[in-house]
Amino acid sequence: MPEDELRRIVDDTRRDSLPYGAGRERVRARLVSAVQRQAEARGQTANAAWIRKVGRAVTPSLDAVWPAVRPEAVLYEVLRDPPDGVLTPAERRAVAWARPPRGVRGARWSAADLVLLDELAALIERPRGYGHVIVDEAQDLSPMECRAVARRSEHGSITVLGDLAQGTTPWAATSWPERMELLGKPDVRLVALTTGFRVPAAVVELANTLLAALAADVPVTRSYRTDGKVRVTEVAELGAGVAAAVREALAFEGSIGVIAADTDVESLRTALRSANPAGPGTGADVTAEFGGRLTVLPASLAKGLEYDHVIVAEPAAIAAAERRGLNRLYVALTRAVSRLDVVHARPLPPQLCPPIEPA
């Protein structure tokens, strides 16, 4: 086959902007067709078996001009040695592996890498679409994650749920029109769900005082429930204050969650073991030591959880721990379904304004 004909086949296929894998199979089909025309011109009969044989025979040539690729292999090469001329030197330093694995099989992909792998897979083979896609916690999707969702809902409908006030990722959405644009659905019907029943009104009122500081287009929420209790307590020592709040919470039925800044969790667990009414424990499982009712967890893991009684320890530490710390504090405050204790040794964040007098 003349080189100019092979080049024309490849160039024409590239101009069609097909997924990479589909383009490779089109080049194969056109190579086989070109060989078939030559064979038939010489009087040969090109039956199905002959076509399959030629399809296998052209594979080495196909691999030279349009090699088969896998997403993992492509990303491995990019992160091992980012391409010069495509990325700036600063971008290359930012994405390159500090210690590249010896091979693609030894690569340990991060959550961010998985999104890149999905993007690569879509460039190679167009993903399957769905008639309807439902996305929860959509406020925390990254732009690349939005692309992954948009590819699968391109020809279908989509339902998106989320709370902009609970956006805790660095790329969290601050408005829904912007987020829906990234999801490929700019023309949507937006419904604000402003009334709930899970969190009592007293808790909602306290959490609402943070909304003005969250830089998110979120309406004030309200609750159907008029029950519930909120108490804000200033203490001299955080561990002792939290332990006292836990002892009082044990007098009520239900689960108890102590939510603190990630760096405070271990010291609070130690304080609670010492205050265990059944005697100081030494195990790592504080939950078991309090009859399975108590959980001590970092604020970074509180989203989506709920407890009958929540004790938020040192709101200022939670707010200062990360870029969206106030959003994280909002999440922590709204985990309570019956009672909320806010225990602090440091001054409260100025954005948090208790609607009740501190006890």
Distance (Å, whole) CA 246 – CA 239: 11
**C-beta separation of 356 from 230 below 8 A:** yes
Non-local (6+) Cβ contacts of 340 within 8 A are 202, 203, 206, 228, 229, 230, 231, 309, 310, 311, 312, 333
What angle do helix axes 325-333 and 201-208 make, rounded to 10 degrees? Answer: 170
Question: For residue 109, with 0-12 CB atoms within 10 Å meaning exposed, 13-18 middle and 19 or more buried, which class applies?
Answer: middle
pLDDT at residue 84, as a whole number:
86
Compute the mean pLDDT over every residue in the chain, rounded to the nearest whole number. 91
Distance (Å, whole) CA 151 – CA 138: 16
pLDDT at residue 278, as a whole number:
59
pLDDT tens per residue, range 164-214: 999 999 999 999 999 999 999 999 999 999 998 999 999 999 999 999 999
pLDDT tens per residue, range 211-254: 999 988 888 999 999 889 999 999 999 999 999 999 999 999 99
